[in-house]
Copies of this chain bind each other. A is one copy, B any other.
Amino acid sequence: MKNLIVGQSGGPTAVINSSLYGVVSEALGHSDAIGKVYGMVNGIEGFLEGNVLDFREALPGDKLEGLKFTPGAYLGSCRYKLPDSLEDPVFPQLFQKFEEMEIGYFFYIGGNDSMDTVSKLSRYAEKIGSDIIVMGEPKTIDNDLTLTDHTPGFGSAARYVASTVREIVLDASVYETKSVTIVEIMGRHAGWLTAASVLARRFEGDNPLLVYLPEAAFEEEVFLKQVEQALEKNCNVVVCVSEGIRDGKGTFICEYDRSVGTDRFGHKMLAGCGKYLENLIRDRFGIKARSVELNVSQRCSASMMSETDQKEAVLAGQFGVQAALKGETGKMVSYVRESNDPYRISCGLEDVNDICNQEKTVPAEWITNDGSDLSDAFTAYARPLVQGKVDVPLGEDGLPAFVWRK
Q: Enumerate chain A interface residues (CB-CB to B < 8 A).
A: 8, 11-12, 42, 45-46, 70-73, 76-79, 159, 162-164, 166-168, 170-171, 173-176, 199-200, 202, 256-257, 259-265, 267, 269, 271, 276, 279-280, 283, 292-293, 295-297, 299-304, 383, 386-389, 394-395, 397-400, 402, 404
Contacts and interface: CB of A to CB of B under 8 A. Distances in A.
Contact of A300 (B162, B171, B280): B171
A296 B236 CA distance: 15
Contact of A166 (B200, B383, B387, B400): B400
Contacts of A79: 175
A402 B45 CA distance: 46
Nearest to A77: B174
A400 B168 CA distance: 13
A276 B264 CA distance: 9
A199 B400 CA distance: 11
Given A397-B199, A399-B162, A399-B200, A299 B171 contact: yes
Given A257-B264, A263-B261, A400 B163 contact: yes
B46 A176 contact: yes
A20 to B, nearest CB: 13
Contacts of A171: 12, 71-72, 296, 299-300
B72 A170 contact: yes
Given A167-B300, A261-B261, 11 more contacts: A42-B176, A71-B171, A72-B170, A73-B174, A170-B402, A202-B395, A202-B402, A256-B264, A261-B262, A292-B297, A297-B297
Contacts of A280: 265
